[in-house]
Amino acid sequence: MELRKFIFRRLVQIVIIFFVILTVLFLLFRLAPGDPVSRMVDPDMTPEDAHRLVVQLGLDKPLGVQYLIYLKNFVTGHFGFSFHYGEPVVHIIWNRLPNTILLFTTSIILSALVGVFLGKIASWHKGKKTDSVMTIGALVTHTLFLPWLALIMIWVFAYKFSWFPINGMISEEVWLDPDSGLIAKSLDVMYHMVLPLSTLFLIHFGAYLLIMRSSMLETLKEDYILTARAKGLEERTIRDRHAAPNAALPVVTSVGLSLAFSINGGALTETVFTWPGIGRELVFSVSQNDYPLAQASFLLIAAVVLVSNLVVDVLYAYLDPRIRY
Amino acid sequence: MRAREKYPLLNSFLEGWSIFRQNLLGRIGLVLLIMFALMAICSYIPPWINPMYNPMTGVDPLITSCTPPSWAHWLGTDFMGRDILSQLLAGARVAFMVGISAAVMSIVLGVAIGMTAGYMGRFVDTLLMRLADMIMVMPTLLVVLILSAVFGQLNIWTIVLIIALFRWPGVSRIIRGQTLSLKQRPFIEAAKVAGASHFRIIFQHIMPNVLPLAFLFMTFRVTSAIITEAALAFLGFGDPGTVSWGMMLQWVWKTGHMFKAPYWLLPPGICISLITLSFYMLGRAMDEVLDPRLRKEDQTD
Amino acid sequence: MGLMNQKPKRCSRPWIMMVACASLLFSGILFTGSGAFAGEMLKMGLLEEPKTLNVWRASDTWSRKVLGLLYQPLYVHDPKTLDLVPWLAADLPVFNEKELSYTVKLRPAKWSDGTELTSEDVAFTGNFINEFKVPRYRSKWSFVKKIETPDKHTVKFYLKGPRAIFVPRTLTTPIVQKKEWTARAEAARKTEKPLGTLLNEKIKNPVSSGPFMLKEWRDGAFLFMQKNPHFFGNGQTISGRQLGPYIDGIIFKIFGTSDAAILAIKKGTIDMFWWGIQPGYMEDLRANPEIEMFQNEKSALYYMGFNVRKAPFNDPHLRRAIATLVDEDFIIKRILQGYGIKMYSIIPPGNIFWYCPDVPKYGMGMDREARIKKAFSILRDAGYTWQIAPVEASGNIVKGDGIMLPDGNLMEKFTILTPPADYDPHRAMCGMMMQEWLRMLGVPAYSKPMAFGALLQQVKVRRDFDSFVLGYGRLSLDPDYLRNFFISTNNKPRGWNMSGYNNPEFDRIANESAREMDRDKRQALIWEMQKIIMADVPYIPLYNPKLIEAVRKGRFGGWVQMLGGIGNLWTFCELKPVK
């Protein structure tokens, strides 16, 4: 019951925050000096025609009216038409979202799992060579500059060794061929995913490793571990079945906290690898002054961040019996 | 020894220093940082020697394309014939400027807000901390992106300000905690009894006790500012008049020299990564100094 | 603080999972690229994805390139002579002076869906543009009073008044299918904003009257076009050329960066990259025996513009002096690595008929010293003075400082706005060089790179700037843009007269040229206009870059070179697989 009340309170908070973000975005975009029409012209278009375009795109009404239209549209799911694609923004986002989800969630899960696993091992061998190697490795990879790492990966693995494609998500040979089935297509996508995934993985697993390591060290000092040892249980069992699960809890929260960092990284990775996802679309739309698409992409990402934080908090509360709201 | 007793601040500083010195990470971090600081200072030298070494507008009369390292240009030239080493040094200067300014601004904001929240308590506290939560979870890079969509072009100081606006929550939380605990202390009670105004209490009594902590804590959190500026410049939304490491990476990428010019591709990335690493190490060492629980077990106070 | 015994054994699980993932990923390498399709498909590389297939909306290069293969115009330009050649039309248009009408006969032609292309489609296109006032094409059709269709293959256009651009520009508008757009137009008329609705229409399966039709478009990755069996030109000889198309299809692969595309062409994954190759890649590609390079001129203009509304740029002497200082040889040789031609007029010399060779050519043939001296004398004679004159009494050149305007005040520092270096290194570099050259003369110039969108805003909308370096990459062959750039009526926010040039004499001649239907008479007027502009230099033409393109040898042959590159309609119709 406590948990439910907590979730409810948080949901209300999320709605309020989201509304604030919506309004701020609206004001920002409307009061801005930027203008998309400047990027859609041709020596033949007269200023009257350009102005007509402005009217047709609805940029001429008073602010208050625009705000109401904006809210109405948001609630009914009309996010407007992209200035550049000329398509409803929802279509574009709907198109791009699965690609981002695929890459992003896979990378988080992979880095978390490997990070936890290695962190556990590192803490067990504390002070010895394995530990130092892992800790330093984690530290170094975590502080690498992501876009630069991405460029290096492309240079080495796609250019020098030609093991992987330079960019993109699919190969047209596979997808155009009427004979290629689902398996071939999925493998093609995975083939393209290796480099971006590795880049994201390298950057993120280090943090999880370090957190898991220090968390394990704390946990191993706990009394129940002493009890387990006194009972004569195998070291391995103690480590894996008693200490690790509890030590892994802070990692869960850190996934949530570092979400902002991961999302930044996701956008950068998608841009460098030309992976057709939301992050890349956001960057692109910003450079083209495509308001509706930029706004919608940002709102989506903000919503994801807010909701995932809630999910993480709930998960943590659920997993740790000590915490009660 | 009397000096150390008389000035408690000096005492804690010296204590901290001895712990810090024993920490390997801290030492490495410090060395790296000093190296970068030197780079930043040296950035004024090449253009002074010869205007063709100006990182932004330096034109070599003989070279107008990307060339490998040579005697005249130790790291080679970029696609317009500008010296890469000068750009690298100038980038160090920009990195420090961005990092330190953002840190200072966020400290100022964070301290002010943290103290207010901690002291005022209840409604003001909740409001400010909720605000802090909201800001803390937002991906800074994307927010700055949206802002640059809105305002067209951002110049470097605007970018720094925006980054600072997203960093204060971290500081304010710590400061708030400190303020809360200080609030109960006898000397605050005494001041209240003596009739001091809230304002006076906050600035004259609480702030001096809280500030050192703030500075120490935040100074080594500057990295995110540097990385954010670098990522922004990399994507093409930085200040085109500023030569930063991120800008250099953008140039090498966008002008298609990624595969051909490792002497151009590698240095800026290595620098960004190393400076991040050094600040991180320093931060970790700082944590050990400030939080006794984190110190190694075999180390006695 | 209880024990959590239920947690499953996690030790070996991660390892198993990792091994499984890794093997899946690596086996992907074996399964990709079945290549069964590669056959006679032309593989083209695009730098960016086309934004839309809605012909009314398309404003970006990529959409226009793709749409150019689908919707065909009545007339096109011959690749060698640049003369107008009947395309969908059967013959050149017949002019009736009394009625002020043009009659055009159509060739028998079909759309890709099998239906006939008739005069109805042509009339529909023109009326559509006028009814909805489609921004892209409106100015070319607004003076068309009426369009008649006496029979299925004849169209008659009545003009409101004489207009020189009718034949070269109006008749080169792509024709759309009435069937494709009628229903959409109907629906749009009922909405509040018909034009907006129409511009937002998503065209998934555009009908084509061209050599190819769209088969599939996978967002963000590729477009696939197949040969259009109903293409009217198939088997025909037009302008002395035997048309196909002789290839079965085209796969357009989208690359995010030039790098990736160049790599692809080196590896043979694509046959051609439909974008100019930057000089930095030239050596590499030229040395490659499997790659052939083509060089063509562009109908383009890259220039430095002044805000002549503002002092001191309203003084033509200052502008002429600056024009003299521009070292075009340096720009071509060093900035463009030799791949460009000098521009002395607004109209590129490649546009042979309209280009006026008689314009004043500032600084031509002069070396640096001579240039500085000449600029110095122009300014001195106009009343400018210096704190330190760049040319001493003895004739020595020194670094000038502190130039003062004729009224005695020190010239304030001014900025030269340029696009950012990564957007266009050439323009950015020109700005930097101008800064250096001007400073030699004591003129306080500052080159300032600015994000492109913001730059256009500043110059076109806010009109608050000193000078800039911009360019037009695709100027039409018809010189009407000369009128648009400098006529005083276009001097307004978002207007095409960005410099604010205001010359009643020019206005008069320009308007006359717009109405002059006789080509030779018009030529005289256009030449006159060029002389006036180049005497006043509100814009200083800097350069016209050459277009270098690369193709892979051994797969296809028959590339047609033309002003604007080898990616033209003729190529697509004549390209044959090499056996």
Q: Taking CB atoms and an 8 Å cutoff, what residues of chain C touch B259?
A: 259, 263
A55 touches chain B (CB under 8 A): no
Per-residue pLDDT reduced to its tens digit, B169-184: 877 887 887 788 777 7
Q: Taking CB atoms and an 8 Å cutoff, what residues of chain C touch A43?
A: 472, 475-476, 481, 484-485, 496
* Contact between B243 and B263 (Cβ < 8 Å): no
Cβ neighbours for C97, distance < 8 A, ≥ 6 positions apart: none
Per-residue pLDDT reduced to its tens digit, B235-288: 988 888 789 999 999 988 887 788 888 999 999 999 999 998 888 888 777 777
Comparing alpha-carbon positions, the chain A residue that sits nearest to B232 is: A268
Buried b (16+ CB within 10 A) or exposed e, C19-31: eeeeeebeebbeb
User: Considering only CA atoms, which of C417, C419, C409 is closest in space to residue C464?
Assistant: C417
Output the six-digit token pair for C514.
Answer: 């717009």
- With 60 as the cut, is the pLDDT of residue C23 above it? no
Per-residue pLDDT reduced to its tens digit, C447-461: 888 878 778 888 988
- With 50 as the cut, is the pLDDT of residue C30 above it? no
Query: What pLDDT band is residue B1 in, cutting at 50, 70 and 90?
Result: low
Tell me the residue length of chain C.
579
Q: For residue A94, give the H/E element and its range.
A: helix A89-124
What pLDDT, on a 0 to 100 scale, did the predictor assign at position B182? 78
Output the six-digit token pair for C67.
Answer: 């749409």
Cβ neighbours for A120, distance < 8 A, ≥ 6 positions apart: A212, A213, A216, A239, A240, A244, A247
C429 touches chain B (CB under 8 A): yes
Domain B8-53+75-295 in CATH 2.40.128.720? The answer is no
Q: Which of A 150-209 lie inside 8 A of B, CB atoms?
A: 151-152, 154-155, 159
**In whole angstroms, how far apart are CA C231 and each of B277, C88, C91, C116, C226?**
63, 10, 18, 11, 11
- B151 and A33 within 8 Å at the Cβ level: the answer is yes
What pLDDT, on a 0 to 100 scale, did the predictor assign at position C348? 92
A145 touches chain B (CB under 8 A): yes
Output the six-digit token pair for A120.
Answer: 């556990």
Buried b (16+ CB within 10 A) or exposed e, C465-490: bbbbbbbbeebbbbbbbbbbbbbbbb
B71 touches chain A (CB under 8 A): no
- With 90 as the cut, is the pLDDT of residue B298 above it? no
Fill in the DSSP letter of residue B51: G
ipTM over 0.95: no
Across the A/B interface, how many CB contacts are shorter than 8 Å? 119
Distance from C-alpha of B301 to C-alpha of A277, rounded to nearest angstrom: 52
**Chain position carrying tokens 């010895």:** A128
Cβ neighbours for A125, distance < 8 A, ≥ 6 positions apart: A131
Distance from C-alpha of A195 to C-alpha of A269, rounded to nearest angstrom: 10
Per-residue pLDDT reduced to its tens digit, C111-127: 999 999 999 999 999 99
- With 80 as the cut, is the pLDDT of residue C523 above it? yes
Q: What is the pTM of this model?
A: 0.83
Cβ neighbours for C457, distance < 8 A, ≥ 6 positions apart: A33, A34, A35, A38, B152
- A151 and B235 within 8 Å at the Cβ level: the answer is no
- A274 and C220 within 8 Å at the Cβ level: the answer is yes
Q: Taking CB atoms and an 8 Å cutoff, what residues of chain A touch C11?
A: 236, 240
What average pLDDT score do residues C424-442 get? Answer: 87
Of B130, B150, B228, the CB nearest to A29: B150
**Chain position carrying tokens 């689902």:** A182
* Contact between A301 and A263 (Cβ < 8 Å): yes
Query: What pLDDT band is residue C19 in, cutting at 50, 70 and 90?
Result: low
Comparing alpha-carbon positions, the chain B residue that sits nearest to C451 is: B153
Total Cβ atoms within 10 A of residue C287 = 8
Q: How far is CA A180 from its chain centroid?
A: 31
Question: What is the least distance, in Å, from the CA of A12 to any CA of chain C?
Answer: 32
- With 80 as the cut, is the pLDDT of residue A260 above it? no
A143 touches chain C (CB under 8 A): no
Q: Taking CB atoms and an 8 Å cutoff, what residues of chain B touch C436?
A: 57, 59
What pLDDT, on a 0 to 100 scale, did the predictor assign at position C118? 93
**In whole angstroms, how far apart are CA A3 and each of A7, A232, C55?**
6, 38, 56
How is B106-119 classified by DSSP, letter by letter? HHHHHHHHHHHHHH
Average pLDDT, chain C: 87
Output the six-digit token pair for A144.
Answer: 């690498």
User: Considering only CA atoms, which of C247, C249, C257, C266 is closest in space to residue C551?
Assistant: C266
- With 80 as the cut, is the pLDDT of residue B111 above it? yes
- C31 and A184 within 8 Å at the Cβ level: the answer is yes
Query: What pLDDT band is residue B120 in, cutting at 50, 70 and 90?
Result: confident
A127 touches chain B (CB under 8 A): no
User: Considering only CA atoms, which of A89, A108, A122, A100 is closest in space to residue A292?
Assistant: A89
Of A52, A110, A289, the CB nearest to C133: A52
- With 70 as the cut, is the pLDDT of residue B82 above it? yes
Distance from C-alpha of A31 to C-alpha of A66, rounded to nearest angstrom: 12
A13 touches chain B (CB under 8 A): yes
Q: Which of A 264-323 lie inside 8 A of B, CB atoms?
A: 264, 267-268, 271-272, 282-283, 285-287, 289, 291, 294-295, 298, 301-302, 305-306, 309
How close are the terminal C-alpha atoms of chain A, in Å?
Answer: 10
* Contact between C154 and C106 (Cβ < 8 Å): yes
- C425 and B258 within 8 Å at the Cβ level: the answer is no
- With 90 as the cut, is the pLDDT of residue A308 above it? no
Distance from C-alpha of A279 to C-alpha of A107, rounded to nearest angstrom: 15
Per-residue pLDDT reduced to its tens digit, A167-178: 788 887 777 777
Per-residue pLDDT reduced to its tens digit, C343-353: 999 999 888 88
- A39 and C257 within 8 Å at the Cβ level: the answer is no
Distance from C-alpha of A23 to C-alpha of A30, rounded to nearest angstrom: 11
- B256 and C421 within 8 Å at the Cβ level: the answer is no
Of A42, A86, A114, the CB nearest to C200: A86
User: Cis link prior to B68 (omega < 30° from 0)?
Assistant: no
Cβ neighbours for C127, distance < 8 A, ≥ 6 positions apart: C147
Q: For residue C544, give the H/E element and its range.
A: strand C539-545
